Structure 1
Amino acid sequence: MEDNLEMKDMCKKPHELTDECIIAMKVFGKCRQQDCLKPDFIVPEPGVDSIPISGSYSGEKLEITAFIGPELTLAADPSILPTEEMPLPDPISPNSPIIFPRNLVEHAEIIEGSFNIAEIKTLNEQEQNLFAADGYWRVKIRYKFVYKLKLVDFAGNRLNIELTDSECGNTTIKKHILAYSFYEKQIVLFGGSANKDIVTSCNLFDNNELSPSPNAPYVFAQAKAMPLSVSIGDYIDPCDSLDSCPEKILGVTIGLFTIIKLFRLVNMTVLTTGRCDIPVCDPIVPGDPCSFFNEIPFPFDDFDPVIKE
């Protein structure tokens, strides 16, 4: 009976080391990766590691129906048809690739402060996991990056965009496009094995939340990302690969740091001597965006809170 009382440890001498039983999130497998994500319409540089991703998608809720130059914005009489309005033959629908005719956009820029990771989602693949019997688990993670794009024409002028509500016909003019990119990473990590007949419930994360499956580990993912460049390339229509005058497509090269861990809730005793050591940073030599990013030291400090000595 006495062993169940919490008060029995209150009178221990200062600095006396003892073993305490705790419920901890024990990490079984972990890994880090430094990925340079480059739009798949760009030819990879020889010897430079990069991962192809799709181009940018429209994050707008309405269709983008036209690009608009500065003369329309400054027109005093809205009844005057401006010479700088450039209707798109194929409107850019929400959640569709940002594709437009040639000779409209010279380059694009990400508005400062608008880039961020909107979502990190773990996709459940337990039903077809072929490695679980050996304690290894296949993990798929989907990242979504959002940002605002400013378009510039060949004269160096900002291009506004026209959004049209197809149901009522109303139009709205904006100075930027809300856009996003996504990337799916799949890895195999050691996550340990557990009795499949044991069901775990813990309300630490959510009320009465069950573990992913009776014997699967939890997935913990952290990420830090940065835009490296914005590119415009030729869009090759898979239904018309012989088109001699292809449209243009827009995409963003993204540098992504990731830490992924598989953990389980276990009973254990712990002694600690402090946080993990952080290696000294190496110098960076600028060059190709992916070559530059691949040389950046992994930012461990950004993933863990600072511990005061």
Structure 2
Amino acid sequence: MGEKRYPSPSSPCEEFKGSVCIHTDKVYDSCKDKDCIEDARVFLTACGQELIDKAVNVKCRKAEIIWAFPDVEPIPFNKGYFTVDIKFFFKITLDVFLGVGKPTTVEGLATFDKKVILFGSEGAAKIFESRYSYDSFDEQLWQKTNMPKAVVEVVDPLCLSAKVVDLDDKICCCTDDIDFTTIPECICNVFDDRLVLSGEKKRVFVSIGLFSIVKIERSVQLLIPAIDFCVPQKECTTSCDDSPCDLFDKICFPFDEFFPPEREDCDFDDRDHDHGHCCRD
């Protein structure tokens, strides 16, 4: 007997062998957005704030997303729709200029609150799950109502600008815009030192551009056509004792790094107006 051959799931010509029922998360509604966050205050560490108080200028080097906390609540009198409140936490890296010479790098925290309305349908069933925990009884997990869940996809934002403001300046009307009691401990642990809450002489504000996708999902059962089980065809690659030059010989030459696309390959009229990048096939 010959070796059994399994059809490729990507082959459109294979005959379906039947239907199977799967449990998965279905997207009921989603939206994409780009936010220009202007003059977001950066809360610095104690060491960073000491440098900022002496700074003559600052430059935003990098902005990174630490975490996003979404919260889903039903909208009264509008069944099936939900508000998704999202709080973003950013790690901001700044170059601080104390005068002529090399700048000093400091880090701080910035936040942003966003709210969207999406359709999530209705569900009143109570959900019970059993998760096995070693050396203990099965724990029954349940939730009171069948609420949908929010999923937030985001990339590291673009750091557009930064400025330092002296609190003694008469035109400054800066106020605190964050409650530090609401900052999770895991966010604070990202920084090496405590964040300064008050007593500073100068403050830093940044403007950043944020791209995000928000989705509302529900756990559902779907009936889908099936071809066969997904049997791996690729052999596992294990570590070997090849020399560094032998490994280097297996790497393809990076032609794209030496030959950027031509103007006709990336015309301005073909840009994605929502994202500002070249749309290539």
TM-score (norm 2): 0.56
Contact conserved, 1:22 with 1:268, CA < 8 A, in 2? yes
Query: 1:283-298 maps to which residues of 2 (within 5 A)?
Result: 283=268, 296-297=275-276
Residue among 221, 237, 244 paired with 1:267 = 221
Residues 42, 92 of structure 2: 8 Å contact kept: no
Report the number of matched residues: 193
8 A contact 1:282–1:297 mirrored in 2: no
The equivalent of 1:105 in structure 2 is 55
In 2 relative to 1, CA 118–23 (structure 1 residues): closer, same or farther, beyond 3 Å? same
Return the alpha-carbon distance in structure 2 between the equivalents of residues 260 and 300 of structure 1: 22
**Which residue is 1:16 aligned to?**
15
For 2:49 and 2:66, how far apart are their aligned partners in 1?
A: 26
Write out the 4+ residue segments of structure 1 that deviate beyond 6 Å after TM superposition: 298-301
Contact kept? 1:34, 1:294, Cα under 8 Å: no
Residues 30 and 213, structure 2, Cα contact 8 Å, conserved in 1: yes
Instruction: Structure 1: state its 5+ residue gaps.
Output: 1-9, 40-53, 68-97, 160-174, 240-246, 273-279, 285-292, 302-309
Percent identity, aligned pairs only?
Answer: 20
User: Residue 129 of structure 2 corresponds to which residue in structure 1?
Assistant: 201
Is the 1:32–1:260 contact (alpha carbons within 8 Å) kept by the matching residues of 2?
yes
RMSD: 3.9
- Whole-angstrom CA distance in 2 between matches of 1:138 and 1:295: 24
Change (3 A) 1:209 1:236: farther
Which residue of the partner structure matches residue 43 of structure 1? none
**Contact 2:126–2:143 (8 Å) recurs in 1:** no
Question: 1:233: Cα distance to partner?
Answer: 3.8
Separation in 2, partners of 1:193, 1:262: 12
Does the 8 Å contact 1:135/1:193 carry over to 2? yes
Is residue 168 of structure 2 the alignment partner of residue 220 of structure 1? no
2: distance between equivalents of 1:132 and 1:16? 48
Instruction: Give the letter for the 2:41 counterpart.
Output: G
- Name the amino acid aligned to 1:186: K
- Contact map agreement 1:35 1:294 (CA 8 A) in 2: no
Q: Does structure 2 retain, via aligned residues, the 8 Å contact 1:27–1:262? A: yes
Pair 66,220 (structure 1): closer, same or farther in 2 beyond 3 Å: closer
What is the letter of the counterpart of residue 57 of structure 2? H
Corresponding residue for 1:55?
Answer: 41
- The one-character-per-residue Cα deviations of 1:52-101 (angstroms, maximum 9, x if unpaired) are xx31111x2x466743xxxxxxxxxxxxxxxxxxxxxxxxxxxxxx7x4x
For 1:232, the equivalent position in structure 2 comes to 164
- Runs (5+) with no aligned partner, structure 2: 1-6, 8-12, 133-137, 167-171, 177-200, 227-264
Give the TM-score, by structure 1 length: 0.52
Instruction: Indicate yes or no: 2:141 matched with 1:191.
Output: no
